[in-house]
Amino acid sequence: MNRRMYVGLTLALATAGFSTAVMAEANYPTKPIKLLVPFAAGGTTDIIARVIADPLGKELGQSVIVDNKGGGGGVIGAQETARQKPDGYNLGISTLSTMATNPAINPKTPYNPLTDFTPIINIAATPNVIAVNPKFAGSANYKAFEAELKANPGKYSYGSSGTGGIQHMLMELYKSLTGIQMTHVPYRGAGPALNDAVAGQIPMILDNLPSALPFIKDNRLKAIAVAAPQRLAVLPDVPTFKEVGLPQVNRMASYGILGPKGMDKATVDKINAAVKKVLQDPAVKKRIEDTGSLVVGNSPAEFAKELKDEYETYKQVVAKQKLTLD
């Protein structure tokens, strides 16, 4: 083989290889996609994933299979996603607990939330609510609530779904901004905390709206303030934290899709576009809104900024409040 033929063959093979790579990228996906939920089945995170999975699979032309892997406050499942190949076939559902609050308070978190993942899209955001037992002395409205707490520093306690979760950290942010002193009582999940708040074992709770709302509607708990962009149709008389002068506390829980770090931009953009199209379906939108959540559907860059901002906010809360896992 002469030199000219050798160079020509080399270029041809290189071109063929390049074309194959582009074709494989353009044809994504060619097999089922796993969507890992870092919590057990049945919670809001799992519900959002399952609402999205089937129509997303139809939009992409391959099945999207939901896989639950709970434990460690969502850390075990998030770590599993971070360890996968960045080929677009192993995605995960993100939450603020896994991507912001837990990493902020736990120095032993086995991944870096800012560098070990590829943010793809924020699907939905869920309002949070402070709710009190109706017999609590400051239950009339937000003004009475704050006045009672400030008049009795250290007297009251609040419950949350667990140390390091979004509810715990958001209440600590509230305390840091208002100077209010309360004792945190962590529970193993929102259910037991809600039950104790209803029974009067603890006077109040900060929780995701979907799980607290049935108790509020039944007048077994009284809503004081909500973390949401505007007042909610289901609680029209309850002010947002922004309305009471605390815009920093107006932070919702969120549920997004991400993958391992290093994912190809074309693959990310394809998944993002497909999810956005799914979220335009009135039936999908209704199912998400029925959980008390608000549809988001933003860009990868916007989602990445949101995660970074939340993580940095809660790192500051941990430092200011001197919080630990103990």
Domain boundary among 249, 273, 292: 249
Instruction: For the beta carbon of residue 226, count every other beta carbon within 10 angstroms.
Output: 26
Answer yes or no: do 95 and 207 share one domain: no
Token pair 């958001």 in the structure block, residue: 170
Residues 218 and 120 in one domain: no
Same domain, 114 and 257: yes
pLDDT of residue 25: 56
305 is a domain residue: yes
**Of 249, 279, 294, which marks where a domain is finished?**
249
pLDDT confidence of residue 74: 87
Judgement on whether residues 116 and 208 belong to the same structural domain of the protein:
no
Give yes or no: residues 110 and 160 share one domain: no
Residues 236 and 287 in one domain: no
Number of domains in the chain: 2
Q: For residue 79, what are the domain limits?
A: 31-126+252-321
Q: How far apart are CA 71 and CA 78, in angstroms?
A: 10
Summarised one tens digit per residue, pLDDT across range 204-247 is: 999 989 889 989 999 999 999 999 999 998 899 999 999 999 99
With beta carbons less than 8 A apart as the criterion, state whether 153 and 180 touch.
yes
What is the reported pLDDT for 118? 98
pLDDT at 326: 67
Residue 214's alpha-carbon distances to 92, 194, 310, in angstroms, are 29, 11, 28
Q: Is residue 14 part of a domain?
A: no
pLDDT (tens digit per residue) in 157-173: 999 888 888 889 999 99
Is the domain of 232 the same as that of 145? yes
For 9-13, 151-155, 193-197, which range has the lowest pLDDT when averaged over its residues?
9-13
Q: What is the DSSP letter of 79?
A: H
Quick check: 318 pLDDT over 70? yes
Q: Specify the pLDDT at position 175.
A: 95
Alpha helices in 106-241 (DSSP H): 142-151, 166-178, 190-199, 209-217
Kindly report the CATH number assigned to the domain that includes residue 261.
3.40.190.150
Pair (232, 183) in one structural domain: yes
The residue out of 249, 280, 295 marking a domain boundary is: 249
Closest CA to 207 of 257, 140, 162: 162
- In this prediction, residues 47-70 reach a mean pLDDT of 96
pLDDT for 16 beyond 60: no
- Asked, for residue 3, whether it belongs to a domain, the answer is no
